[in-house]
Structure 1
Amino acid sequence: MKLHLRWQLLLALVGFGLILAILSFQVQSVGLCTTRVPSGGGVFTEGMVGAPQRLNPLLSDGFPVDQELVSLLFDGLVQYDHAGRLIPALAESWTVSEDGRSLRFTLRNDLVWHDGQPITTADVAFSYGLLQNEAFPAAAAVKALWQTVSINVVDNLTIEFVLAEPYSPFLEATARGIVPAHLLQDVPPAQLATHSFNQQPIGSGPWQVAPGQDWLTSRSLRLTPNPLDWREGTQIPVLEFRFYPDEESLLTAFANGDIQAINSVSDALLPQVTAVSHARLFTTVAPRYTQLIFNQSDSGFAPLQLAEVRQGLAAGLNRDVLIDRALNGQGVPLTGPYLPDSWANNQAIFAEAGVNAANADALLTGAGWPLSEGSSVRQADGESFTLRLLALDTAVYQQVAQEVAAQWAVLGVEVVVETAVSITELRQKLAARDFDVALVDITPSIDPDLYDFWSQEAIIRGQNYGGWNNRRASEALEAGRQVWGIGARRPSYNTFLSIYADQVPAVTLYQHVYTYALSSEVNQAAIGPIYEPRDRYQTFANWFLLYRDVTISCPAEETT
């Protein structure tokens, strides 16, 4: 009887405990809520028009997609910051000798390749040494520069470059990415262009190629964050690029949600991308501008040899109106041969030149080309003021060319737009000086050296397609490349700009803008100024695609 009573008491106690637990859970549940928080995972997919050839920084010249990707995968000794100034990358520091002919770099002592092998000056010497090798298929201009340089390895962390003469723009050449000697030093230079390294490279940059891919066949390339660059980790573990043959297929993929970003939205594509409901657009200025070059050689319209005529034509252009009408507002007015963030840019010099729309007519009339009453075109000695304007045969360039023609028509200048059906034909016509005025895009080096564009020597061996023959400007450009340091170089470039502003060998119309399209599916993305491709991923660590539900204490209700 007692034993039976014990079991009854035990069962009663267990039941009472269960009741207390249920009541306690119910009380606690009243104070709990569910919320969504960012979760790691997913693949961020970005589309672009075109496909890479070789993922190799020594072979990427002339291939925009290649250059875009190698910027993410490889580092050079130096890199540019957001103010357009060179700062250390693989190098910790550098010094210039007193005679200006020798640069000595010291590498950081913690550098490793993506495969974990150490980076030393042997890799630097090997990489830049390839650019001196006649058998290596690098760009001719790149070879010409490096073949004048002696490369001396001092020790594992110190390397010296000796120049034939002082040449300050050389520093920019060391921003080119380097490749690992331990993987490539036994490959004949002539065979490197077809080596498998170019498909599955090992670099040192913030991104690395995921193994086991055949992106030539799949037309997609997966990258993963380099943990040494993303020490805090990233929420999205994979960055995938997909390559499309044209903008139409790229737009379709974005609209359908197959990709979450468009690498670069062209002016022509912009209205259609804007119409996609989940599109978010990030716009910043691009390191490129469009310019009108005046042909001052004997093959051009003779009056263009007069500075007053070039000044009048420049004054007769309204950049703001041109950008609105021809580009749907996608451009930034720009004056002069330097981008706004260049340390050599000095807009005060152009303001002092005083050429404006109010005196356009006076300048042309004073140069002997009056506009008679009742006439629509200026004339002198029975000859009409008629210009041949050369432009690439694409929608955007033709729109710009037609707007230039319309604005100059108001000034009494007749314009005949001539087209070049390809970049190759445009370059041929420029080299032959088969134009009066040419509409061209310029992507200047960040270093302000414009010797190859505007010096007297560049008329014969360079890109001075307008044949501007000004000794003082040429001497200023030469002086600016023979000294080191911004302070020492600036006076020479101010002198050059003063002559340029007065003589107007060309008219810069606008700086291009870069537009990046991102799906609203991508959360917490912020994109600032973009000077090189890797810049748009500065905040990638904060981006996320997925959410997860977590239980939290409910916030206390407010009482009144």
Structure 2
Amino acid sequence: MRPNLRWQLLLATIGFGLVLAILSFQVQSVALCTVTVPTTGGSFIEGVVGAPNTLNPLFSDAYPVDRELVDLIFDGLTRFDASGELIPVLAERWTVSEDGRSVRFILREGITWHDGQPVTANDIAFTYGLMQDATFPGAAALQTLWQTVTINVIDARTVDFVLTSPYAPFLEVTTRGILPAHILQGETAVSLLTHPFNQSPIGTGPFMVDAGQDWRQTGRLVLNPNPDFFQQGTQLAHLEYRFFPDETSLMDAFANGDVQAINHISADTLPEVAAEPHARLFTATEDRVTMLLFNQRQDGENKLQPASMRQALAFGLDRQAVLDQVLNGQGVLLEGPYLPNSWMYQKTAYTPYSNQPDQAILWLEENGWLVPEGQVMRWREGDPLSIRLAALQQDEGLVTAVVDQWATLGIDVQVNLQSNLTELQQTLTAGEFDAAIVDVVPALDPDLYDFWSQEAIVRGQNYGGWNNRRASEALEAARQLWRLEERRPFYESFLRFYDAELPALTLYQHVNTYALSSEVNLAEIGRIERPRDRYQTFAQWFLLYKDVTVRCPAENAGIDS
């Protein structure tokens, strides 16, 4: 038995050695490689011309930088989606009473402020209650509206708004950002205007203000991703806004790599930015249009009556040429009074008034405005066709383009440029114009009562005095109905009168061009409806890499497969 045992031990030893040899060969054959992978950290820096005044949704309307930052920090009860319809945000849902005079909002469960405190109906009542204050220093139209609304808190998640009469456009005001009552309770609208909260606000939005910074002194504002919004985390630690006094200094910072993005590129500087090899450009339409407003008030002889005279001026403009000449093509031709993302926008409902000079001349001649032999200007019964055009000085290039095109039709234009918006508004209110170039930010809700109703001639913004009873009645009826399908026929009726009588000509919709450095990886930007939409994919953006050791692929390890 002993010899057999020796043979078994010998065979076992040999087998064990072979196994070790094979394993040793395999280990020695595994090659290790160093690869570069994304890592967390770093700040994404966006440059913007100008600085915010106050980071408060109640006071941000007049300041573009304020509006953008407020949109990142705060949420409203609702917001508009890409099709112009309201969807819930802080709200879970809302209902309208049978008589149309009461709207009940139910808040989502579990929503919290950036400091972790729960959002309740008290926050909603507190925020809107501030705008009811007789001393509210914000937009007067907001105060006027909210003073007609009774706010009732039902429970922690339920709030009722009771209106004096049915008013469907009311829902649009619920898009405004909500303030935290647990921090600001007891403040008045006036005291809030200068409150330290406006320096380091607490909101519910996708980004939080980094505590302890003085952006007024440093010229930069650091925001941190809200973990409740970016639940899977982010690669970038911070989003930083850096404020510059002018476009030149901002362009230099982008060229030098001191900022990774430019918030807004003007038409003048677009070629310079586009020439930067690391620049990626993204363009999105803004909720802002430039219009040519016609004065129809009957103060003496009105040279823009009848409607065919206004149509002649419209047909006599090549709007695309104006865009190319003045804005380097940075705009979108638009027909009618509604934005394309409004649920009432109907492109086919409007006459395409643009670049039909033969039609323009026909209308002018049919109205008796002729060019005497040997002259270039039009006359009628001894009077020249001369119109007064009002505009802001900043739009001088646009004014020049319009004047030059109308001159080819034999129209003399007397230009009145105003240095600021207040002066222009005074000119419009006094009716001291025949045509005016104005910028308008249309609401996505199609209610245009305050712009085009008969009542708005006296108590509104119907500066041109368009006086059409049936159009006004359609607007009045539509605003008292809550269901979109019930409102639509009235707005369709209004549009027919608007298109036929042309109280204003929309020249173009503005676009915003945004520059992003190629240094920012995996940064994809889709459709932009509001400023925060630029950061829809922010979670995957990254700037930094790190080296890690991994097993090399078989072909790199020299192993035959």
CA contact (8 A) 1:133 1:189 kept: yes
Separation in 2, partners of 1:250, 1:300:
51
- 1:18 to partner: Cα distance: 13
Distance in 2 of aligned mates of 1:429 and 1:300: 17
In the alignment, the residues of structure 1 paired with residue 300 and residue 548 of structure 2 have an alpha-carbon distance, to the nearest angstrom, of 73
1:507 to 505, 508, 512: 505
**Structure 1: how far apart are the matches of 2:357 and 2:522?**
46
Question: How far is 1:546 from its partner?
Answer: 1.1
Conservation of the 8 A alpha-carbon contact between 2:333 and 2:507: yes
On the 8 A contact 2:314/2:353 being kept in 1, the answer is no
Cα distance in 2 for partners of 1:42, 1:52 equals 24
One-letter amino acid of the structure 2 residue matched with residue 96 of structure 1: V
- Structure 1 pair 179/77, CA: closer, same or farther in 2 (3 Å)? same
> Which runs of structure 2 are paired with 1:441-480 in the superposition (5 Å)?
441-480=439-478
In 2, the alpha carbon distance for the partners of 1:407 and 1:47 equals 37
**Structure 2: how far apart are the matches of 1:300 and 1:160?**
50
Matches within 5 A, 1:71-90: 71-90=71-90
Q: Shift of the alpha carbon at 1:353?
A: 9.5
| Comparing 486-495 and 422-431, the one that deviates more | 422-431
Note the alpha carbon deviations across 1:52-73, whole angstroms, 9 max, x for none: 1221112222222211111111
How much does 1:551 deviate?
Answer: 3.3
Gaps of 5+ in 2: 1-18
Render the CA deviation track for 1:338-367: whole Å, top value 9, x for unaligned.
Answer: 111211112222149999554222111111
Query: 1-side partners of 2:312 and 2:375: how far apart?
Result: 18
Residues 22 and 256 of structure 1: CA distance in aligned 2, closer, same or farther (over 3 Å): farther
Larger CA deviation: 250-259 vs 97-106: 250-259
1:286 Cα deviation from its structure 2 partner: 1.3
Alignment of 1:145-294 (within 5 A): 145-294=145-294
Structure 1 residues 298 and 520: alpha-carbon distance in aligned structure 2, compared to 1, 3 A threshold: same
Secondary structure at the residue paired with 2:265? coil
1:534 aligns with 2:532: yes
Q: Offset of 1:38 from its aligned partner?
A: 1.6
Q: 1:356–1:478: structure 2 CA closer, same or farther, 3 Å change rule?
A: farther
Q: CA deviation at 1:186?
A: 2.8
Aligned to 2:488: 490
Determine what percentage of the aligned residue pairs are the same residue: 56
Q: Provide the rounded CA distance (Å) in 2 between the counterparts of 1:529 and 1:143.
A: 33
Q: Distance between the aligned counterparts of 2:347 and 2:186, measured in 1? A: 52
Tell me the amino acid that sits aligned with residue 481 of structure 1: R
Letter of the 1:127 counterpart: T
Tell me which moved more, 338-347 or 489-498: 338-347
Give the stretch that moved more between structures: 405-414 or 343-352.
343-352
Contact kept, 8 Å, 2:130 with 2:188, in 1: the verdict is no
* CA shift for structure 1 position 386: 1.5
Corresponding residue number in structure 1 for 2:29: 27
Question: What is the rounded CA distance, in whole Å, between the counterparts of 1:449 and 1:134 in structure 2?
Answer: 26
Aligned length: 541
1:301–1:387: 8 Å Cα contact kept in structure 2? Answer: no
Query: Which residue of 2 is the match for residue 5 of structure 1?
Result: none
Aligned counterpart, 1:9:
none
Q: Deviations over 1:345-396 (max 9, x none)?
A: 12222149999554222111111112345432111011111222222112xx
Q: Are residues 1:383 and 2:355 paired?
A: no
User: CA 1:556/1:368 → structure 2, altered by over 3 Å: closer, same or farther?
Assistant: farther
SS in 1 for 2:415: strand
Q: Which amino acid aligns with 2:237?
A: P
2 CA distance for matches of 1:225 and 1:530?
Answer: 19
Partner secondary structure for residue 517 of structure 1: strand
The aligned residue for residue 545 of structure 1 is 543
The Cα shift of 1:440 comes to 1.0
**Retained in 2: the 8 A contact 1:285–1:529?**
no
Q: Provide the C-alpha distance between the structure 2 equivalents of 1:444 and 1:380, rounded to a whole number of angstroms.
A: 37
Contact kept, 8 Å, 1:378 with 1:384, in 2: the verdict is: yes
Q: Give distance in 2, aligned partners of 1:248 and 1:356.
A: 40
Q: What SS class does the counterpart of residue 303 from structure 2 fall into?
A: helix
State whether residues 295 and 301 of structure 1, in contact with CA within 8 Å, keep that contact through their aligned partners in structure 2. no
Does the Cα contact within 8 Å between 2:454 and 2:466 map onto a contact in 1? Answer: yes
Counterpart Cα distance in 2 of 1:503 and 1:112: 51
Q: Which residue matches 2:12?
A: none
Question: What CA distance in whole angstroms lies between the structure 1 residues aligned with 2:166 and 2:78?
Answer: 19
CA pair 136-269 structure 1, distance change in 2 beyond 3 A: same
TM-score between both structures, scaled by the size of structure 1: 0.92
Per the alignment, in what secondary structure is the counterpart of residue 171 of structure 2?
A: helix
Structure 1 residues 417 and 21: alpha-carbon distance in aligned structure 2, compared to 1, 3 A threshold: farther
In 1, distance between residues paired with 2:162 and 2:427? 38
Whether the aligned pair in 2 keeps the contact of 1:100 and 1:484 (CA below 8 Å) is: yes
- Partner residue of 1:7? none
- Return the offset for 1:237: 1.4
Q: Following the alignment from structure 2 to structure 1, what is the Cα–Cα distance between the partners of residues 401 and 352?
A: 27
What's the offset of the Cα at 1:436?
A: 1.6
Q: Distance in 1 between matches of 2:138 and 2:409?
A: 47
Q: Secondary structure at the match of 1:263?
A: strand
Q: Name 2:419's counterpart in structure 1.
A: 421
Which stretch shows the higher mean deviation, 482-491 or 130-139?
130-139
**1:137 CA displacement:** 2.7
1:132-187 Cα shifts (integer Å, max 9, x gaps): 11234332211111000000111111111010111111001111111111111133
Q: Is the 8 A contact 2:316 2:354 kept in 1?
A: no
Going from structure 1 to structure 2, the CA distance change for 1:346 and 1:475 (only over 3 Å counts) comes to same
Q: Where in structure 1 are there 5+ consecutive unaligned residues?
A: 1-16
1:412-446 CA-partner distances (Å, limit 9, x unpaired): 22223321122222222222222221111111111
What secondary structure does 2:281 align onto? strand
CA RMSD between the two structures: 2.4
Q: Provide the C-alpha distance between the structure 2 equivalents of 1:434 and 1:545, rounded to a whole number of angstroms.
A: 55
CA contact (8 A) 1:292 1:439 kept: yes
Partner of 1:12: none
Mean Cα deviation higher: 287-296 or 422-431:
422-431
User: Distance between the aligned counterparts of 2:288 and 2:357, measured in 1?
Assistant: 25
| Structure 1 residue 298: Cα displacement | 4.0
Distance 1:196 1:234 in 2: 29
Please list, as runs of the form range in 1=range in 2, the aligned pairs for 1:296-445 lying within 5 A after superposition: 296-298=296-298, 302-351=302-351, 357-394=357-394, 397-445=395-443
Query: Are residue 525 (structure 1) and residue 523 (structure 2) matched?
Result: yes
